[in-house]
Structure 1
Amino acid sequence: MARYIFTMECKEGSEEEYKARHQAVHPALLQALKEVGITSYSIFMDGNKLYAYMEVDDYHRAMKELETNPANRKWQAFMSDILAMDEKGDPKMYVIDQEVFRLD
């Protein structure tokens, strides 16, 4: 199982709304995340900076499958007003996939 970290940002002033929305994630999205092979997913917040941790067999395949999933598309649209977005209208996200140490 591969482990990934990625960073994102919510718009300044949207921190509480970001947390509130994540207290009520749609069950269809949770199911979709599991269906693409995500076994663990956590998001940490420091101010408006977001740090996500994910365990998944194939990150790139999972993200490609999620791109067309209706539940994920609905969630992404729902979150787009409070996330920092890139020029294509996608959340600004930087993936870190090189793990150099692990203690189990």
Structure 2
Amino acid sequence: MARYMFIMECKEGSEEEYKRRHQSVHSELLKALKEVGISNYSIFMDGTKLYAYMEVDDYHRAMKELERNPANRKWQEFMSDILAMDEKGDPKMYLIDQEVFHLK
């Protein structure tokens, strides 16, 4: 299983709301994440910076499948008012996929 990290950002002043919303992630979304093969998914926060880690065999395939999933689209819309967005209106996200060390 491959490991991936990505960095996102929430809007300044929305940090507590971001945490609150993640206390009750919809069960349909959790199911969708698992169905595309995502596991061990964690998000860490430092100020407005969000550092996410996940394990998935094929990150790009999983993301394409999630783009078509109604539960994921609903969640993305729900979060859009508190996430920093790029010029296309998508959440700003920087993927880090080059692992240089792993302690087993």
Q: TM range, normalised to the smaller chain?
A: over 0.9
Question: Counterpart of 1:58 in structure 2: which amino acid?
Answer: D
Q: Deviations over 1:20-53 (max 9, x none)?
A: 0000000000000000000110000000100000
Aligned counterpart, 2:90: 90
Aligned counterpart, 1:81: 81
Q: Structure 1 stretches (4+) deviating beyond 3 angstroms?
A: none
Name the SS for the 1:72 alignment partner.
Answer: helix
Name the SS for the 1:11 alignment partner.
Answer: coil
Aligned counterpart, 2:50: 50
RMSD (CA atoms): 0.4
Amino-acid identity (%): 86
- How many residues are matched? 104
**Structure 2, unaligned runs of 5 or more:** none
- How far off is 1:54 after superposition? 0.5
- How far off is 1:70 after superposition? 0.1
The normalised TM-score by structure 1 is 0.99
